[in-house]
Structures are given as C-alpha cells and as structure tokens.
Amino acid sequence: MDERVREHAEVLVDWSARVEAGDDVVVSVAEGAHELGVAVAEALGERGATVTTVYGSSELSRAYLKGVEAGTDGDVDAGDFDSDPAVDRALFEAADAYLRIGGGRNTTATADVDRSTRQAYAKARQGVREARMDTDWVSTVHPTRSLAQQAGMAYEEYRDFVYDAVLRDWESLADEMARLKAILDAGEEVRIVTERDGAPDTDVTMSIAGRTAVNSAASVAYDSHNLPSGEVFTAPYDTAGEVFFDVPMTIDATRVRNVHLVFEDGAVVDFAAGAGEDALASVLDTDPGARRLGELGVGMNRGIDRVTDSILFDEKMGDTVHLAVGRAYDACLPDGESGTESAVHVDMIADVSERSSVTVDGEVVQRDGVFRWEDGFER
C-alpha cells in the first residue's frame, strides 16, 4: 500500500473526525475506495473505535432507483419511498462519527435515472440526511481512475494531486486561516477587483457586517467537514457590481465556462456565460434566493494548484475566491437570523493570483495572490 493512503487515513481519523476510543464510527466506502477503506479500518481498530462499514456504491443506488421506477408506474414521487427508513435512521442516530470515502468507478453511474426519481429520493431522505449531519461527519475521496478521468489527468498524476491537497500541515494552515477569519469577522464590506485582458473585469462589493466566518480547516473541531478543505467562508449580502468567474465548472452535468454576473441591490440582474448559459439560467431561476449570494469563500489550500472539476477540491484552491448563489450556511449567521434561503447552492470560482485584490473595509487583504501577512505582499 502507498504510504500516503495510510497517512490519508490518519489525517481523516485523527485530525478531521477526532475519533477517540469507544467511538462508534460508520464508514461509507465507495466502489473504488477499498484501499483507503482498509487503511481507515486499521486506524479505527488502533484507536479503539468500533466500525460499521457501509457500501457507498453508485451502481447499487442506480439499480435500486431503477427498481423503484419499474415497481411503480414509472412516475416516482417522494411518497414512493419510506420517509423514515428505520435502519438508516437507527444507524446514524447511534453513530458518533460518519466518514464518507468517495471514489467511484464512474462519476456518471446514475445518469440514466430520471431526475424526478432522484429528486423524490433526496426529498424522502431528508430525515436521514439530518441524522447524518448530526454526527461528526467528514467527507473525503480516494483517488480513482474515474476521478482522474473527470479531472482530465493521468492516474498517477491525479494521485499526486489528491495527496498534495490532503496531506497538508493542517495545524499551521488553520492558524493562517484564523488570521483571515478574524479580519472577516471584524469587517463590514468586502471588495474584490480583478483586471484581465480580453475579459470583463471584476469589481464587486458585498456586506459582511454581523456575519461570522468559518475557518474550514478540514476538521469537525473547526465545523469543517471536508477533507481536503482549506477555505475561509462567510455569508455576504447587499452585493453590487460585476464578477467574472474564469474557473470552469460543471452544473448538473453541463460544462459551464466564463460566467459573468451583474449584481444590483444584492441580486443578479444580468448574466452571461461562455458555455452552458442555459444551465446557469436554470440555476438562477430556481427561486428568488438563487439570484442572491449565499457564500463568499477564499481558497487557501495551495496544495490544490489546478482545476479538477470537483468542487471538493476546486473551491479550496489557493489564490482563488468563490461566490455561491443560493443558500447560506447557518454557521455564518447570527443566532435566529436567516440568510439567503434557496433550494440551490452553486459555487463559482475566480482566479485572484494575478492583477487582483481582495479588500476589507478599504484595506487590501490579498493582492495578486499574496496575503497581507506573507512575504512579498505589496500594500
């Protein structure tokens, strides 16, 4: 076994999930994630935890949903599923931690299941999802050929990429991210400016007054549930100006490139995309919240240095910022206050490594990819 698989397991169990002796841990292993599953099982045994392993197979999910379609008139709604599935609920209610190890053999394994069937299933599973979120859950991926293919990379190359992203000095990154969190927590207005040849410029401002930033350091101890992580995010409002997102993305299986959004009074009033504009329009038309920002995130994981068409990695890429239209995270909101509400949350990413600045209350925090506290920062 590649020693990095073992290290990945240790980061997941110790840094991310903070597993202790006696914890009851549910591990979900995707079809291609056997090897990391083995390393995680060994680490959990060593820590004195109890482990139950779930098989997170997309092909089994597809088969089950196809079976439901065949067993009904084919017109599936949420009522065709048990909204309180006893086993899954019991499983997560009894669990202290849930470790989801993604990494399938085909990222489009459920492509031929009707969208309405998938949505009905997701709706019926809301209670199970909540029980799962109540555990110390962490989501990671084992590098598979299928994910390498999605990233447009060779397998060996993709493995190096994943381990560079996952095997960080998390303690030190958490300390660095704490600096940005402190600035955002105290700040009232963020302005992002970029200049580019042959593309619209970005110049956008948003309010963050009263909002709390999350130091997403890949650990439940930081309210962070992704491995890798490495971003600081908050919930902005009152957005005005325009943004150009130059990092490609996939929305509902459609490739979307070069998104341009124009905001007035907090809402998107105009938009365009170099590719996939229909998919973008469909997102923005979901509900009123889908035209407002739910998130401003600053990617600070410099182990991630390229786009791989996986939001788990892309949004944490060093020297990028991302804005999400749609739902805001509760963790960023004052108690009892609600932020943007929406059925969607779609992240869009902009490169800020060159000819860019991120400013909080008039003070530049990051210029051309260099933070205020780093060598080479120009005021």
Place of tokens 């980061």: 11
Q: 272 has which bridge partners?
A: 260
Choosing from 93, 156, 252, 270, the residue that interacts with a second copy (CB under 8 A) is 93
SS3 call for 88: helix
Question: Binding of a second copy at residue 71 (CB under 8 A)?
Answer: yes
Q: Give the list of residues 6+ apart from residue 51 with CB closer than 8 angstroms, or none.
A: 25, 26, 27, 41, 44, 45
Q: Which stretch binds a second copy (CB under 8 A): 50-58, 150-158, 170-178, 198-206?
A: 50-58
**Which residue lies nearer to a second copy by CB, 89 or 345?**
89
- Contact between 80 and a second copy per CB under 8 A: yes
Task: Give whichever of 25 and 307 is closer to a second copy, judged by the CB atom.
Answer: 25
**Cβ–Cβ < 8 Å for 347, 315:** yes
Q: Does 53 bind a second copy (CB under 8 A)?
A: yes
Pairing of the two strands 370-371 and 363-367: antiparallel
Q: Is-contact 185 177, C-beta < 8 A?
A: no
* Cβ-proximal residues to 351 (8 Å cutoff; 6+ apart), any chain: 194, 246, 247, 319, 320
Applying CB under 8 A, does 14 fall inside the site for a second copy? no
Region from 78-86, 212-220, 240-248, 338-346 binding a second copy, contact rule CB under 8 A: 78-86
Residue 139 sits in the site that holds a second copy (CB under 8 A): no
CA atoms of 367 and 379, how far apart (whole Å): 8
Q: DSSP 3-state assignment of 172?
A: helix
Count CB neighbours of 155 within 10 A. Answer: 14
Buried b (16+ CB within 10 A) or exposed e, 91-127: bbeebbbbbbbbbbbbbebbeebeeebeebbeebbee
Sequence length of the chain is 379
Which of 18, 66, 179, 257 forms a contact with a second copy (CB under 8 A)? 66
Work out which of 7, 14, 18, 38 binds a second copy, going by CB under 8 A. Answer: 38
Determine if 75 is a binding residue for a second copy (CB under 8 A).
no
Q: Does 118 bind a second copy (CB under 8 A)?
A: no
Considering only 94, 133, 154, 281, the residue that binds a second copy (CB under 8 A) is: 94
Q: Number of residues in contact with a second copy, rule: CB under 8 A?
A: 50
What residue type is assigned to position 143 of the chain?
Answer: P
Q: Between 72 and 172, whose beta carbon lies closer to a second copy?
A: 72
Q: Which of 4, 18, 47, 118 binds a second copy (CB under 8 A)?
A: 47
The answer to whether 44 contacts a second copy (rule: CB under 8 A) is: yes
Among residues 5, 12, 17, 29, which is the contact residue for a second copy, using CB under 8 A?
A: 29
- What residues have CB less than 8 Å from 270, skipping those under 6 apart? 261, 262
| Residue whose CB is less far from a second copy, 69 or 309 | 69
Stretch binding a second copy (CB under 8 A), from 80-88, 160-168, 210-218, 278-286: 80-88
68, 78, 220, 311: residue in contact with a second copy (rule CB under 8 A): 68
Torsion over CA: 273, 279, 282, 286 (sign): negative
Q: What is the smallest separation between the CB atom of 355 and a second copy, expressed in angstroms?
A: 49
373: DSSP letter: T
Tell me the C-alpha distance between 12 and 6, whole Å: 10
Binds a second copy (CB under 8 A): choice among 14, 50, 150, 254? 50
CA angle 25, 29, 30 (to 5 degrees): 155
Q: Is the CB of 70 or the CB of 197 nearer to a second copy? A: 70
Cα 47 from Cα 362, distance rounded (Å): 48
Q: Which of 8, 15, 19, 57 binds a second copy (CB under 8 A)?
A: 57
Quote the CA–CA distance of 55 and 144 in Å, as a whole number: 16
Could you say whether residue 52 binds a second copy (CB under 8 A)? yes
Q: At closest approach, how far in Å is the CB of 32 from a second copy? A: 11
Q: How far is the CB of 35 from a second copy (least distance, A)?
A: 9
Integer distance in angstroms from the first to the last C-alpha of the chain? 47
Residues that bind a second copy (CB under 8 A): 22, 24-26, 29, 31, 34, 37-39, 41-48, 50-55, 57, 59-61, 63-71, 80-82, 85-91, 93-95
